[in-house]
Structure 1
Amino acid sequence: MNVYEGLLEDLREGRVILTSKAGNRVNGMTIGWGFFGIIWEEEYFISAVRPQRFTWRLVKESKRFTLNFLSEEYREALNYFGRVSGYQENKFEKGLLHLDELEGFTAPIKEAHTLIECSVTFASNVEPFVLPVEIIDKFYKDHGFHTLFFGKIEKVLQR
């Protein structure tokens, strides 16, 4: 079994927080969209992040992100990290989740059962002219189209 197959359910159920750090600023956001795959003969995770998100700014600056896979017991934190903006407050100061210091990881969360570290090698903005109207009406009423960050998987830690 592929190590990533077991993580797709966490992603589908919104139990993943993408974190990034640039300088002394760190932030995270709950994600439910993304892709594991092979491109340029390497393993990648492609993450969809809206430019309005503070995390987008940190990923753009650092060109790195950490995927933190959490169990359902952290639902309160997952909801909070998906709802509150990093522009408004430091989400980690609330104390629902805690940053760890692990060699080779940008912004790992202590409570995560699996960590995946990615380095961004490419980014592309979603172009609305190719999207079906139904998708635009359902997901992009505000025209806040995602940037797709192509993250080369550098390191995986399961604990």
Structure 2
Amino acid sequence: MRLQAADPKTLAGEFLQAFGNQNALLTAGDRERCNTMTIGWCQLGRLWNLPVCTVYVRPERYTYQFMESHDYFSVCVLPDGEACKQTMSLCGAQSGRLVDKVRECGLTLRYGAGDAPLFEEAALALVCKKLFVQDMAPACVTAGEDKILPYYGKKGGWHRIYTGEVVEAYTAIKN
């Protein structure tokens, strides 16, 4: 497969179907260094009359430093299958501080706007430019405290919210 440019408006439904089923890879960095991680939370829509993608990253994650230091990030959905499951498992469980996840998973880097790293093997990919960053906080939980608050103390700190304008979208074509 090979990625080709696509209209972000036509891919929103396909992207959202992936979350909760096969998830996606959030990647930030540049041509010299990058990191990727599995994400299960993502929102797509419009904000300030712009197409946007919102992702969430805990400060403890290695990818956090790349999200903080770079203006662009990508979200890639890999084709469903056993290889995808193995990649999602490794990228969700291993730290990029200790393992070169891109090499270990046999992924091929390519670069979009702002030198945002993304993967040639993706079935769907978005490149986003950061517009808004805000930390989640327990004081902002207004309902469902019994479902939300106990979850956070077990895995680490509260996520930082990153909303990026979708500046490029890609879909796979078969060679």
Query: TM-score scaled to structure 2, two decimals?
Result: 0.82
Q: Name the SS for the 1:134 alignment partner.
A: helix
Corresponding residue for residue 95 of structure 2: 85
Aligned partner (choices 144, 157, 161) of residue 144 of structure 1: 157
Show the 5 A alignment for 1:54-133.
54-73=62-81, 74-101=84-111, 106-131=116-141, 132-133=145-146
Corresponding residue for residue 6 of structure 1: 14
Cα RMSD (Å)? 1.9
Q: Contact between 1:34 and 1:48, CA under 8 Å: does it hold in 2?
A: yes
Aligned-residue offset at 1:109: 0.7
Q: Structure 1, unaligned stretches of length 5 or more? A: none
Aligned partner (choices 54, 58, 62) of residue 46 of structure 1: 54
Provide the rounded CA distance (Å) in 2 between the counterparts of 1:138 and 1:44: 27
Say which structure, 1 or 2, has more relative contact order (CA 8 Å, 6+ apart).
2
Q: Structure 2, unaligned stretches of length 5 or more? A: 1-8
Aligned-residue offset at 1:158: 1.0
> How many residues are aligned here?
159
Aligned-residue offset at 1:68: 0.7
Q: Contact between 2:55 and 2:162, CA under 8 Å: does it hold in 1?
A: yes
Provide the rounded CA distance (Å) in 1 between the counterparts of 2:35 and 2:14: 25
Aligned-residue offset at 1:89: 2.0
Aligned-residue offset at 1:135: 0.5
Amino acid at match of 2:17: E
Provide the rounded CA distance (Å) in 1 between the counterparts of 2:158 and 2:147: 14
Provide the rounded CA distance (Å) in 1 between the counterparts of 2:112 and 2:52: 21
Amino acid at match of 1:51: P
Amino acid at match of 1:26: C
Corresponding residue for residue 23 of structure 2: 15
Aligned-residue offset at 1:59: 1.1
Q: Contact between 1:14 and 1:31, CA under 8 Å: does it hold in 2?
A: no
Q: Contact between 2:78 and 2:123, CA under 8 Å: does it hold in 1?
A: yes
Provide the rounded CA distance (Å) in 2 between the counterparts of 1:23 and 1:158: 22
Aligned-residue offset at 1:2: 4.6
**Superimposed CA distance per residue, residues 49-96 of structure 1 (whole angstroms, 9 cap, x where no aligned partner):** 111111111011012101111122211011101111111222112143
Provide the rounded CA distance (Å) in 2 between the counterparts of 1:130 and 1:137: 15
Provide the rounded CA distance (Å) in 2 between the counterparts of 1:94 and 1:108: 16
